[in-house]
Amino acid sequence: MKLAFELETYKSEVKPTWCPGCGDFAVLNALQHALTELQLEPWNVLLVSGIGCSSNLPQFLSTYGFHAIHGRAVAVAEGAKLANPDLHVIVTGGDGDGYGIGVGHFIHAMRRNLDLTYIVMNNEIYGLTTGQASPTSEMGMKTKSTPIAGVIENPIDPIALALSSGATYVARAFSGDVKQMSELVAKGIEHHGFSLIDALSPCVTYNKINTYEFFRKRVYDLNKEGHDAGDLKAAFLKALEWPVVQRDRIPLGLFYRNDKVPTYEDLEPAYKKGNPVKQPLGVADADEILKEFL
């Protein structure tokens, strides 16, 4: 008999401690709805996070979870997925964690096309540490760490970076539209390969520029305007629209999807015998080996 899972199934007894109005509430809501839509067995879902306000998210879901150290969420998720490829492994974190200290792991996971889903709650600020500039903060933005001249570095463009690194599912969502975000997350989890959902998630306490109002005036659904998500060149052009080319229009939706690229797991010879955690240990007497360590 196949079990049916309600939305409540995925909700943890632990309640979020985010600031009232934080965009991360919408991301949590969208992820819960996506898991419900997909009817994933909670015991076969692993949430992995790094450090930051957003990285507390695995505590608020009734699945398995792992709170890793700063910038190492993708590396931990890779290890879990490779050890047990039957798991649905979802990584959650912020722009500082994923696009800053963790950017090396981020790039290499995409070029390997590991079957992971990465949801980055991008608020363009370090919120947990009370408002320093992050890798996606705009040039000129004054923060606690850039109080005089503002940010003097170009911001990272997560969408263009993902496309150039080999990600096979690249999307952008906004916390002001939970329905679209939930659909993009669900399709990302279903996708066989690396999927990135860059979630614009306003920090209502420390970022007074990139607010809900800021985004609502500018966002539009690129797929409703006829964008072909199978066209990599078109995806690059859309990726460069914001913030590189102009400030007035921010595309949301699915930039790119390619289902024909094999994943790392598809190519790895070690999997020819099946899931590693379901294989025999390969030792004649495990008790004798354990005695050496007792």
122 - beta bridge partners? 200
The predicted pLDDT at position 2 comes to: 79
The predicted pLDDT at position 3 comes to: 85
The predicted pLDDT at position 228 comes to: 97
Tens of pLDDT, residue by residue over 8-55, are 999 999 999 999 999 999 999 999 999 999 999 999 999 999 999 999
CA distances from residue 113 to 78, 109, 198, 291 in whole angstroms, order as listed: 11, 6, 17, 40
pLDDT band at 291 (very low <50, low <70, confident <90, very high): confident
d(CA 152, CA 123): 18
Tens of pLDDT, residue by residue over 55-98, are 999 999 999 999 999 999 999 999 999 999 999 999 999 999 99
The predicted pLDDT at position 273 comes to: 87
Q: How many CB atoms within 10 Å of residue 10?
A: 21
d(CA 126, CA 228): 34
The predicted pLDDT at position 231 comes to: 98
Tens of pLDDT, residue by residue over 170-220, are 999 999 999 999 999 999 999 999 999 999 999 999 999 999 999 999 999
**Cβ contact 85:115 at 8 Å:** yes
d(CA 28, CA 60): 8
Mean pLDDT, the chain, as a whole number? Answer: 94
Q: How many CA atoms lie within 13 A of 94 on its CB side?
A: 29
The predicted pLDDT at position 104 comes to: 96
d(CA 273, CA 267): 13
Q: Which of 80, 157, 154, 66 is nearest to 120 (CA)?
A: 157
pLDDT band at 293 (very low <50, low <70, confident <90, very high): confident
Q: What is the mean pLDDT of residues 126-135?
A: 94
Q: What is the pTM of this model?
A: 0.94
Tokens of 25: 């509430």
pLDDT band at 1 (very low <50, low <70, confident <90, very high): confident
Tens of pLDDT, residue by residue over 236-283, are 999 999 877 777 899 999 999 999 999 999 999 989 888 998 888 777
The predicted pLDDT at position 28 comes to: 98
pLDDT band at 284 (very low <50, low <70, confident <90, very high): confident
d(CA 134, CA 233): 28
> Which residues, at least 6 apart from 45, have a Cβ–Cβ distance to it below 8 Å?
35, 63, 64, 87, 88, 90
The predicted pLDDT at position 288 comes to: 83
The predicted pLDDT at position 225 comes to: 95
Tokens of 221: 């659904």
d(CA 104, CA 122): 17
Tokens of 218: 């500018």
The predicted pLDDT at position 283 comes to: 78
Considering the chain, what percentage of its residues have pLDDT values greater than 70? 100
The predicted pLDDT at position 30 comes to: 98
The predicted pLDDT at position 287 comes to: 84
